[in-house]
Amino acid sequence: MKGLLMKDLKLLKNQKSFLVIVVVMCLVLLFRGQSPVFVMSYMSVMVTILTTTTVSYDEMDNGMNFIFTFPISRRHYVLEKYLFGVLMMTGVTLAGSAVTMAVLATQSVTYDTQECITGIFGALLSSVLFLAMMLPVQLKYGSEKTRIAMLIMVGGLVLAAYAIRQLAGLFSLDFSWLMIRIQQAEIVEMLLCLLVAAVVILGISYLISAAVIMKKQF
């Protein structure tokens, strides 16, 4: 497991230019007055998407056949991908949050601490959802079809959010109480909710990914 994690970390070093672009984009958004919650979510999701591309590198030049010559089961391979994704999204989100707060402090911008904490948990949950959706598709169809699937999923989420908003207006549904409840929640409450949601979502996604790779021919 440790060897697989080190391998994926070294693979990400080949994506330095992409990481630099993401960081520059986040800084530009911050200095332009964009919401720190959006910036943190953007950074976390982009890095999470990047971690799923390690599967593509593994499949290049019959790489999977070489990997499985070592004492590594297919289920352990899949488990490592989820572990790597969770470690990366958590590390990047926390580091990005610290940098975001530092940039805001240099600009003498006041911000709501509770809102920022809520944003951090929101960024992590968004990343969990993307990881859970992307890995099974990546393992099943490869990088080319995954790009198309990602566009479809993002478009579907946007349409779903728009539809919910329209239906809420049509039927006079008020969800403001939910947002207020979330903002008033204690950190421990949000952490527990995030952990439960992450375990359930990633657990289901892992079972799907494991089933996919067990049937795949290399």
| Per-residue pLDDT tens over the stretch 182-209 | 656 666 777 788 788 888 999 999 999 9
Confidence of residue 144 (pLDDT cuts 50, 70, 90): low
Average pLDDT, the chain: 78
pLDDT of residue 175: 60
Confidence of residue 178 (pLDDT cuts 50, 70, 90): low
Phi, psi of 108 (to 5 degrees): 55, 40
pLDDT tens per residue, range 71-107: 888 899 999 999 998 888 888 888 877 777 777 777 6
| Alpha-carbon span 207 to 209, nearest angstrom | 6
The tokens of 17 are what? 């230019």
Can you give the length of the chain in residues? 218
* Lowest mean pLDDT segment, chosen from 1-5, 36-40, 132-136: 36-40
Distances (CA, A) of 30 to 24, 65, 198: 10, 44, 28
Distance spanning both ends of the chain, measured CA to CA: 20
Phi, psi of 51 (to 5 degrees): -65, -30
The most confident of 14-28, 62-76, 191-205, by mean pLDDT: 191-205
Q: Using only the alpha carbons of the chain, give its radius of gyration.
A: 19
pLDDT of residue 15: 77
Contact indicator for 206, 82 with CB cutoff of 8 Å: yes
Per DSSP, which regions of 75-183 are E strands? Answer: none
Contact indicator for 213, 139 with CB cutoff of 8 Å: yes
More confident residue, 177 or 9: 9
* Lowest mean pLDDT segment, chosen from 24-28, 49-53, 177-181: 177-181
With pLDDT > 70 as the criterion, what percentage of the chain qualifies? 81
The tokens of 180 are what? 């207020």
| Alpha-carbon span 17 to 174, nearest angstrom | 44
For residue 33, the SS3 value is: coil
| Alpha-carbon span 112 to 114, nearest angstrom | 6
pTM exceeding the 0.85 threshold for the entire prediction: no
List the one residue out of 206, 213, 38, 37 whose CA is nearest residue 133: 206
